[in-house]
Structures are given as structure tokens and as C-alpha cells.
Amino acid sequence: MAALGAPLRTLRALRHAAGCSYRDSPAYRHVLAAFRAHWVTGEKLCRAQQELHFQAATYLCLLRSVREHEALHREYHGRGERSPQEVAGLVGFRLPQQPGGKG
């Protein structure tokens, strides 16, 4: 597994990945409250901070993956049924015109 990096960097990246309304996100508020509760001071060293940092990094990965999935889904998702003229144009053909100017 790759190194996690600095916890503050992870928290800032999480804030940017959550979007403009990140403060309204219950998950972001939970992670922030947990970070504050497990803050390392000179008097106390909490082992749960590494676990918390890992959870924050995992949530950040989830947010980035969901955003990337949505972008790929928008780009490659089918748009429904196409007309025969549209399908013919996609493959480089033209449909024959009907007599009497109907097509």
C-alpha cells in the first residue's frame, strides 16, 4: 500500500474533492470531528489517529472515484434508440431516398 502522506494534506484534499458544499456533507463533518477528537498533543499520543487518517484517505479515494465514474458514465452512456438515418451516418452510409421526395 502507498504511503498516506500528511493528515492535513489528506483533509484538505478531502475538502476539495467533496465539492463546493463540502461542509454540508455528513461524512466530511464526521471525519473532521474525528480528526479534532484524536489530535496529537505533547501530552498524549493517540494510536487511533493513523486509523483515522486511513479512513479519511479511503473516503477521499471514494469521492474521487465516484466523480470519475460519473464523468465516464456521462461520456460513454448510451443515449437511447437512434433513428436509422443517424445510425447510417455513424458508419458512413446514406439511406436511399424514396421516390416522390419522401426521404
In the chain, where are the structural domains located? 4-66
> Among candidates 98, 95, 97, which has minimal Cα distance to 87?
95
Q: How far is CA 22 from CA 15, 26, 67, 73, 80, in A?
A: 6, 9, 14, 23, 34
Q: What is the tens place of the pLDDT at every residue in 19-32?
A: 666 667 777 777 77
Q: What pTM, to 2 d.p., does this model score? A: 0.46
7-26: average pLDDT = 70
